[in-house]
């Protein structure tokens, strides 16, 4: 749910700290570096080392959390916390990304409508600032740095530890929803869609030009398995959709959360090359959503820019998978959409942008830019 890996490290705003930490593996062209910048090898802090992922609790009232190194992959955090029957409840679609890497953006997926982005669920951070100081910060302690670092694209310093809230691993309930607009060529089998179903969907998409697909996840355990299908049926009765086009599939909790990695691995091995993701993600104000055809859990004090004018906004993600032959087609499509938004005066914010000019960066951070500069200076 981002710009493609081949541009995963945005160009930093001018006048900010030139030290992009290098976290999870993405293709080389993913990284951009300002003049005289340095690359920090985050994995050397101890990726995968058990003592860098610690589950603990406060005494009273009981509050569970995990202290994870900024270099740790979310998939390892998930495995470690599940040993305690606990889990973070907000994810990105892909878990082979680092804790520091997603917290420097926002960390969004189909749970954000209920729990907010990952950055809204952090208790405390250790940050190495541009001056070389190691500072612990939280909502109460060094709060300007805390809010500044979260969603600031790595410009305030390096997150070396994050204390992330945990909850009991879900046994029941509806906890994930994402909508997708699909054209025939975008339809492929996935953890939600079997190969047989994807053929049916492709025909439908071809017939109508495009279709809207709603993905949801309902958690259950063996004891409640029989009830979950009844609940699902009553939920589906409230929705309007083409008869015969509701598909269900049972997968494990980890299997569900790690689905994108599994699909990418499958596709790369079939096509014998890395899957590219020329993705575009926009935050659009509610009033302008129709032009393009959550309750707010985003903390406005954090650096991550969101639309200014309205309390409710939509996340639009264009998330195709591409090869080296056709990624430019998608890139052009994204430019056309952005031009359309500009022409129509739609005040969107791009998630994971790749701006080049100072003017574009100033517009992106908008009114947050002054507070960001105050923390840096």
- Report yes or no: 198 and 188 within 8 Å, Cβ to Cβ: yes
Q: Which of 21, 148, 307, 320 binds ligand FAD (CB under 6 A)?
A: 21
Minimum CB distance to ligand FAD smaller for 40 or for 166 = 40
Residue in 267, 77, 238, 110 with CA at minimum distance from that of residue 176: 110
> Residues near 316 by Cβ (< 8 Å), separated by ≥ 6?
280, 281, 282, 283, 284, 292
The structure tokens listed for 190 are 């996935």
Using CA atoms, how far apart are residues 154 and 99, in angstroms rounded to an integer? 12
CA–CA distances in Å: residue 49 to residues 88, 125, 212: 19, 19, 42
192 near ligand FAD, rule: CB under 6 A = no
- Closest distance between ligand FAD and the C-beta of residue 228, in Å? 25
Q: Stretches 15-23, 214-222, 247-255, 326-334: which one binds ligand FAD (CB under 6 A)?
A: 15-23
- Closest distance between ligand FAD and the C-beta of residue 376, in Å? 14
53 near ligand FAD, rule: CB under 6 A = no
97 near ligand FAD, rule: CB under 6 A = yes
Using CA atoms, how far apart are residues 222 and 244, in angstroms rounded to an integer? 26
Number of chain positions touching ligand FAD (CB under 6 A): 34
Minimum CB distance to ligand FAD smaller for 42 or for 375 = 42
H runs (alpha helix) in the chain: 74-82, 99-103, 112-115, 143-149, 195-208, 225-237, 253-257, 259-271, 327-344, 358-365, 368-376
Minimum CB distance to ligand FAD smaller for 81 or for 92 = 92
Q: Which of 16, 17, 87, 102 binds ligand FAD (CB under 6 A)?
A: 102
Q: Stretches 153-161, 213-221, 326-334, 338-346: which one binds ligand FAD (CB under 6 A)?
A: 153-161
9 near ligand FAD, rule: CB under 6 A = yes
Minimum CB distance to ligand FAD smaller for 47 or for 369 = 47
User: Taking CB under 6 A as the criterion, which residues in 335-354 touch ligand FAD?
Assistant: 352
Using CA atoms, how far apart are residues 281 and 12, in angstroms rounded to an integer? 18
H runs (alpha helix) in 150-304: 195-208, 225-237, 253-257, 259-271
Using CA atoms, how far apart are residues 307 and 316, in angstroms rounded to an integer? 13
Q: Which of 11, 72, 87, 105 binds ligand FAD (CB under 6 A)?
A: 105
Q: Which residues of the chain form contacts with ligand FAD (CB under 6 A)?
A: 1-2, 5, 8-9, 20-24, 26, 30, 42, 70, 92-94, 97-98, 100-102, 104-109, 153-154, 158-159, 277, 352
């Amino acid at each position: 749910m981002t710009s493609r890996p081949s541009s995963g490290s945005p160009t930093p705003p001018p006048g900010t700290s030139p030290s992009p930490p290098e976290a999870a593996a993405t293709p080389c062209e993913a990284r951009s570096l300002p003049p005289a910048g340095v690359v920090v090898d985050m994995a050397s802090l101890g990726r995968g080392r058990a003592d860098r992922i610690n589950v603990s609790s406060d005494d009273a009232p009981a509050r569970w959390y995990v202290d994870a190194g900024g270099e740790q992959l979310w998939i390892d955090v998930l495995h470690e916390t599940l040993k305690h029957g606990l889990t973070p409840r907000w994810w990105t679609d892909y878990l082979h990304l680092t804790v520091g890497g997603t917290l420097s953006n926002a960390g969004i997926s189909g749970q954000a409508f209920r729990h907010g982005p990952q950055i809204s669920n952090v208790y405390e951070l250790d940050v190495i600032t541009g001056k070389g100081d190691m500072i612990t910060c939280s909502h109460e302690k060094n709060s300007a740095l805390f809010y500044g670092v979260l969603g600031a694209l790595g410009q305030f310093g390096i997150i070396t530890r994050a204390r992330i809230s945990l909850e009991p691993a879900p046994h029941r309930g509806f906890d994930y929803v994402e909508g997708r607009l699909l054209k025939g060529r975008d339809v492929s089998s996935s953890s939600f869609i079997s190969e047989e179903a994807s053929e049916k969907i492709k025909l439908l998409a071809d017939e109508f030009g495009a279709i809207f697909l709603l993905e949801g996840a309902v958690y259950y355990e063996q004891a409640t398995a029989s009830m979950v299908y009844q609940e699902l049926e009553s939920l589906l009765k409230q929705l309007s959709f083409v008869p015969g086009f509701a598909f269900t599939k049972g997968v494990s909790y980890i299997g569900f959360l790690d689905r994108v990695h599994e699909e990418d691995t499958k596709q790369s091995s079939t096509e014998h090359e890395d899957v590219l993701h020329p993705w575009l993600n926009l935050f659009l104000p509610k009033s302008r959503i129709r032009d393009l055809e959550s309750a707010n859990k985003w903390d406005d004090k954090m650096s991550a820019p969101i639309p200014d004018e309205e309390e409710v906004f939509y996340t639009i993600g264009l998330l195709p998978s591409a090869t080296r032959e056709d990624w430019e087609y998608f890139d052009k499509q994204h430019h056309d959409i952005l031009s359309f938004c500009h022409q129509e005066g739609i005040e969107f914010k791009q998630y994971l942008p790749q701006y080049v000019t100072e003017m574009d960066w100033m517009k992106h951070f908008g009114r947050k830019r002054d507070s960001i500069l105050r923390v840096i200076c």
